[in-house]
Amino acid sequence: MADKKVKPTIKNIFLAKHNTLILSIIDIFFLVLSYFICVVFYLFLYEQTLWLWIGNLYTILFLVAPYAILFNLFGLYRNLWQFMSFRDLFKLVIVLVSSSFIFVISSFITSGRNVTYLFFTILTSLMACNIIFISKLVYFILYERSRRKRNNGGQRIAIVGAGQAGVFLLENILAENDCKYQPICFFDDDKNKVGKNINGIKVAGTTDQIGILCAELNIDEIVIAIPSLTFEQKQRILDKCLKTDCRVVIVPSLTEMISDKNIWQSRRHIEVEDLLDRDPINLDTDKFYEMISGKTVLVTGGGGSIGSELCRQIIQYNPSKLIILDIYENSAYEIQQELILQYGDSINLFVEIATIRDYDKMEILFDKYRPELVFHAAAHKHVPLMENNPDEAVKNNIFGTYNLVRLSDKYGVLRFALISSDKAVYPTNVMGATKRFCEMIIQSMKDRSNTQFMAVRFGNVLGSNGSVIPLFKKQIERGGPVYVTSKEIIRYFMTIPEAVSLVLMSGVNGKNGSVYVLDMGAPVKIDDLARKMIILAGYVPDRDIKIEYIGLRPGEKMYEELILHKDRADKIDDKIYVEKLSNISWDFIIKTLERFEKALRQNNNDLLIKILMDAAYNGESQSLQALKTNFESAADLGVLGQAGQETAG
């Protein structure tokens, strides 16, 4: 959220180009002035020595030349003395002492070792050092006064963190010639700093006092300037900041600070990711390269939010080919152009527009590309819409997955990863039930194929297509109201990169028929999330923007779960569980698919939902007796229509 830079004026351009020359002339003037002040002083003491000064007038060069050379060698003319540091002062002292020493020794030798002249050069050196040093100090003081006067009336800023980053941030703010911001105070939990001044700015209190002191000091904006904060510390400080009426921004990470010296210009608003009630997930990606490098990789739903991020990450590990498959051409085109722009001709990238519901078309593509890795992200995932369109959900999600599983087995795919959902756990809606049945298809392949089939289950993905975050943002931008189903409803959240890293990690470690789950920490109350998003946008909930509670939509749960059987889940990584599920027989899958197909042909959505829910809940019990009916053969399953839409979730 960098501020708009000011257009340079002719005066500023001139001063910038001639800054070194102007400063050199000023310093030389002070040096020569020091010399003649000492000459006048000595003439009063020793009137008969006028000839001594006239004869040794050339020694002024021994004073000026070393000073000018050393000042440039040490880069002191490139410094902004209004922001001088202890290091700058130390350099200045070294230059002054060194040049004075050269002046004294050179003048003493060339003057015939005249003792009177020796004392004169020492006095001149002391005079020059003092005048130069004081001139820099006076310039600094005058600038400070001018700066404080100029900044009066600007946006009042409080900086959280009086460490190196906070001081650096303060210097950045002060360096803005047209700065419309006025630093008022620091907050720091080091009680030894509380009450002290840093560059004239007081450490007003600890972070526990943010709410009270920001109100008393009329703070407009709080800047969190502690890049090394742990997640828990950041959450605690954010909670206190968000309870004020102030805007809240944060400085970059330590890595970004190294690459961008002006952290004030690169500060950013608090993002929704900052509000997750857990540390970001950082998985070990060393094995990704071994799995992907030199392989042909197919990503279904490659234009969607998850699918496109899969493509971004996969391409980094040097696949032999990357095939992006999607029914929605605009999204597929966007990720194609993004990758081409970034990698150029160095990648083998192919885009195919097709529906996974079309078995024949899928077989043509499998035969053409012979993929070795398949990441299946294509799906209908909108819960309320699928409640009204269960036939499309079954055709696309279930039969589309069935087509891909059969073809992956037939064409010798090494690994197949299904993108599933937390809504597959004890599903109460059509979308979740279709996802659960897709998991069951994966489970049924455990002992039937050389392909390693696995599913990856996670919660809501921040910023994904159709998720609550973009919806809330649009409602806030329109001025409200923000619609929340219930004050008590909770959801698990993860970022898109986290979701994709989990998918890739499951591809590395996955065993046939396994379901992998990410430890997503504590769930988030949607009501709290909505309120924090309103505050981050600069508004006050219930005053500036209303929140309306509309009740659960069709198929929605109050609480989401991630694991079907918590007593049968093993932790294989610090953040990943593998759920031990009962074996699902292939016969059960085929019989259920036959029932789906008959209900679809009858256009009987009520029956379809009944079959779907029965399968989702009774699959593990293998209640085949209840399913034994005389349906048509499953030989032509999978060809259930050519139209449809798959979007990655």
| 358-391 tens-digit pLDDT | 999 999 999 999 999 999 999 998 888 999 999 9
Q: Which residue has the tokens 């050519």?
A: 642
Q: Is the pLDDT of residue 254 over 80?
A: no
User: What is the pLDDT averaged over residues 44-52?
Assistant: 63
Q: Is the pLDDT of residue 622 over 70?
A: no
Q: What is the predicted pLDDT for the residue at 626?
A: 33
CA angle 272, 275, 281 (to 5 degrees): 95
Q: What is the predicted pLDDT for the residue at 581?
A: 64
Q: For residue 77, name the pLDDT band (cuts at 50, 70, 90).
A: low
Q: List pLDDT tens digits, range 597-613.
A: 999 999 999 999 999 99
Q: Are strands 569-571 and 524-525 parallel, antiparallel or unpaired?
A: unpaired
Q: Is the pLDDT of residue 634 over 50?
A: no
Cβ-in-10-Å burial (0-12, 13-18, 19+) of 368 comes to exposed
- Cβ atoms of 285 and 501 within 8 Å: the answer is yes
Rg of the chain taking only CA atoms, in angstroms: 36
Q: List pLDDT tens digits, range 515-566.
A: 888 766 667 788 888 888 887 777 778 888 899 888 876 656 665 655 555 5
What whole-number distance in Å separates Cα of residue 463 and Cα of residue 480?
19
Higher pLDDT, 84 or 452: 452
User: What is the pLDDT averaged over residues 22-38?
Assistant: 79
- Give, in order, the Cα–Cα distances in Å from 246 to each of 156, 174, 535: 10, 21, 9
Catalytic residues: 423
CB count in 10 Å sphere of residue 624: 13
What whole-number distance in Å separates Cα of residue 70 and Cα of residue 132?
14
Looking at the chain, the number of H-run helices and the number of E-run strands are 22, 24
Q: Which of 129-138, 156-165, 520-529, 586-595 has the highest mean pLDDT?
A: 586-595
Q: Is the pLDDT of residue 440 over 50?
A: yes
What whole-number distance in Å separates Cα of residue 491 and Cα of residue 422?
10
Q: Report the candidate in 583, 610, 604, 593 with the shortest Cα–Cα distance to residue 403.
A: 593
Running DSSP on this structure, what letter comes out for residue 83? Answer: G
Q: Is the pLDDT of residue 116 over 60?
A: yes
Answer yes or no: CATH 3.40.50.720 is held by domain 153-270: yes
Q: Which of 87-91, 145-149, 560-564 has the highest mean pLDDT?
A: 87-91
What whole-number distance in Å separates Cα of residue 134 and Cα of residue 123?
16
Q: For residue 631, name the pLDDT band (cuts at 50, 70, 90).
A: very low
CA angle 577, 580, 581 (to 5 degrees): 130
Q: What is the predicted pLDDT for the residue at 146?
A: 62
Count CA atoms closer than 13 A to 165's CA, side-chain side. Answer: 26
Q: What is the predicted pLDDT for the residue at 365?
A: 97
Where does CATH 3.40.50.720 sit in the chain? 153-270, 292-627
Q: What is the predicted pLDDT for the residue at 38?
A: 80
Which segment of 123-137, 318-332, 602-616 scores lowest on mean pLDDT?
123-137
User: What is the pLDDT averaged over residues 484-509?
Assistant: 79
**Helix boundaries (H) for 491-604:** 496-509, 526-536, 586-601
Q: Is the pLDDT of residue 480 over 80?
A: yes
- Cβ atoms of 418 and 378 within 8 Å: the answer is no
What whole-number distance in Å separates Cα of residue 530 and Cα of residue 536?
10
Q: For residue 67, name the pLDDT band (cuts at 50, 70, 90).
A: confident
Which residues pair with residue 250 across a beta bridge?
224, 268
User: What is the pLDDT averaged over residues 147-173?
Assistant: 77
Give residue 568's Cα distance to chain centre: 35
**Helix boundaries (H) for 152-229:** 164-175, 210-216
Instruction: Round the average pLDDT of the chain to a whole number and report it.
Output: 78
CB count in 10 Å sphere of residue 419: 29
The percentage of the chain sitting over the pLDDT mark of 90, rounded to a whole number, equals 27
- Cβ atoms of 174 and 83 within 8 Å: the answer is yes
Higher pLDDT, 479 or 17: 479
Rounded to 5 degrees, φ, ψ at 250 are -140, 145
CB count in 10 Å sphere of residue 180: 11
User: What is the pLDDT averaged over residues 37-65?
Assistant: 71
Q: What is the predicted pLDDT for the residue at 143?
A: 64
Q: For residue 257, name the pLDDT band (cuts at 50, 70, 90).
A: low
Which segment of 224-233, 492-501, 584-593, 637-646 scores lowest on mean pLDDT?
637-646
Element (H, E) at 313: helix 305-315
Q: For residue 9, name the pLDDT band (cuts at 50, 70, 90).
A: very low
Tell me which fold the domain 292-627 belongs to.
Rossmann fold (3.40.50)
Cβ-in-10-Å burial (0-12, 13-18, 19+) of 254 comes to exposed
Q: Which residue has the tokens 């097709």?
A: 354
SS (H, E, C) 210-275: HHHHHHHCCCCEEEECCCCCCHHHHHHHHHHHHCCCCEEEECCCHHHHHHCCCCCCCCEECCHHHH
Q: What is the predicted pLDDT for the residue at 425?
A: 83
Q: What is the predicted pLDDT for the residue at 523?
A: 75
Q: Is the pLDDT of residue 570 over 80?
A: no
Q: For residue 262, name the pLDDT band (cuts at 50, 70, 90).
A: low
Q: What is the predicted pLDDT for the residue at 627?
A: 32
What whole-number distance in Å separates Cα of residue 442 and Cα of residue 373?
15
Q: Are strands 493-494 and 547-549 parallel, antiparallel or unpaired?
A: unpaired
What whole-number distance in Å separates Cα of residue 295 and Cα of residue 300?
16
- Cβ atoms of 118 and 108 within 8 Å: the answer is yes
Q: What is the predicted pLDDT for the residue at 16?
A: 44
Higher pLDDT, 433 or 38: 433
Element (H, E) at 197: strand 197-198
Rounded to 5 degrees, φ, ψ at 637 are -65, 150
Q: What is the predicted pLDDT for the residue at 371?
A: 97
